[in-house]
Amino acid sequence: MNCNKKTVKDVDVRGKRVLLRCDFNVPRDKETNVITDDKRIRAAIPTISYLLENGAAVVACSHLGRPKGEWVPELSLAPVAARLSELLGKPVKMAKDVVGPDAMALAAGLKSGEIMLLENLRYHKEETKNDPEFAKKLASMADIYVSDAFGTVHRAHASTAGVAQYLPAVSGFLVEKELRVIGGALNNPERPLVAILGGSKVGDKLGVINSLLDKADTLIIGGGMAYTFVKAMGGKIGTSLCEDDRLDYARDMIAKAKERGVRFLYSQDFIAAREFSPDAEPVVISGDIPDDMMGLDIGPATRKLFCDAIRDAGTVIWNGPMGVFEFDAFAHGTEAVARAMAECKGITIIGGGDSAAAVEKFGLSDKMTHVSTGGGASLEFIEGLELPGVACLLDK
C-alpha cells in the first residue's frame, strides 16, 4: 500500500464544501450520556481549523457507538457538536439526519468558514455495508473528501472508502501523521527496531507476529498471549489464558525468529493469583505456575529483560498490555514498559487501543513520539494489510 498520499495542503479548498470524516466515537457516562473524554474531538481541531481558515465550508461526519442501523437517541452526536463548538469558539450546525432533507438543506446553505455535523452515520445500516447509493448521497453534499479518522481506515465503509468513488479524496493532518510515523518506523526504522505485542490472544496477532519477524531486531511477547508460548516451550501455566490450538504456531514462530536472527523475548517469570479479581493477592512465580493459579502480569525479572531491550532501541512499536493493567496489583509490568519507552532516546510509537489507554493512565502520553488513534487500524497497518480508507486517497 502506497502511504504517500495527498493531504489537505495539496488541494485548493477555498470556496469548496469539504466532507470531513472524523473519529468522534468518544466515551460517555452511561448514566448521564455526558462526554467523559474529548481527546478525539480535540485531535480533529487542527484539520478543521485549517479548512475553515482557508475558506472551506466543512460538513463533518462520524459514527458513535454501535446503533446497528437503528435510530438510538442516546447515540446522537449532538453532545459532540456542542463540545466541538466550544473548542472552535464558533457555532457548529447540527443536522437532524444523515442524508435526509435537513442535512442536505444545511449543507447546501453552508458558507465558507462555517461547519456543520451530520447525525451518527451508523444510524444507517448502509454505512457499514458501504452501500454505493448511501455513499453517493453523502458525497453529493461536498466537492472534496478529507479522511481524518485513522481509527476507521481499516474498514471499507461508505464514509471511509465509498465516498472516494465520487469525490477527490485526501488525508487530514491526523491520518497524514499516522501514515508518516508508523509507515516510516516499519519501512525505514532507526535500529534496533523493538516490537512489543501484548493483549490476550495470539490468534488476534498471527499476521502481525509473522510480519514483524521480517522487520524487527527484537520481538517481545507479553500479556495473556505469552502463556501460549510458555506452554509451547514446555512450561506449566496453571489456569492462565492459553490457546492450545496455537501451540505449534508458537513453536514455529520461535524457530523462525532464531533462523532470522531476531531476538524473541517472552515472559520468564510471572505475577500470579488464584482468582481473576482486583482484590486477588499477587504472588511472584519463577518457573512453573501452580495448577490452581493464573498469570496476570509479567514478573520482575521479565520486566528487567524487556525494559533493557526497550531503553537501547532506535525505534519501539508497542501494541497490547503486559498484564491486567486495569487491576492496580497487576499493572506493574505494563507501567514498567511504558516508563522504559518514556526513557528511550529513540522513536517510540504506541499502537492505539489498550496501550494508548495505559500510557494515558500512567501520565506518559506526552513522553512518546506518537500515540496512534487507531488500535485495530494500526495493527493491520503493522501487519502490512491494505487499509481501504487509505488506499482510496489520491497518491502524491
Edge-to-edge strands of the sheet including 269-273?
A: 283-286, 269-273, 294-298
Edge-to-edge strands of the sheet including 218-221?
A: 263-266, 218-221, 193-197, 315-319, 347-350, 370-371
Q: Which three cell numbers stand for residue 349?
A: 510509537
Pair 89, 71: CB distance under 8 Å: no
Reduce the DSSP state of residue 209 to 3 states and report it: helix
Pair 240, 266: CB distance under 8 Å: no
Pair 229, 204: CB distance under 8 Å: no
Which residue in 40, 137, 215, 246 is the catalytic one?
40
Which residue in 353, 374, 375, 389 is the catalytic one?
353
- Reference 351, options 170, 233, 194, 231; nearest CA is 194
DSSP secondary structure letter of residue 350: E
Per the annotation, the verdict on 125 as an active-site residue is no
Calculate the CA 165 to chain-centre distance: 25
Which residue in 6, 96, 180, 201 is the catalytic one?
201
- Reference 72, options 120, 38, 26; nearest CA is 120
296: left (phi over 0), alpha (psi -120 to 50) or beta: alpha
Per the annotation, the verdict on 363 as an active-site residue is no
Rounded to whole angstroms, the Cα distance separating 249 from 185 reads 26
Which residue in 69, 235, 376, 384 is the catalytic one?
376
Pair 115, 32: CB distance under 8 Å: no
Per the annotation, the verdict on 129 as an active-site residue is no
Per the annotation, the verdict on 40 as an active-site residue is yes
Active site residues: 40, 201, 353, 376
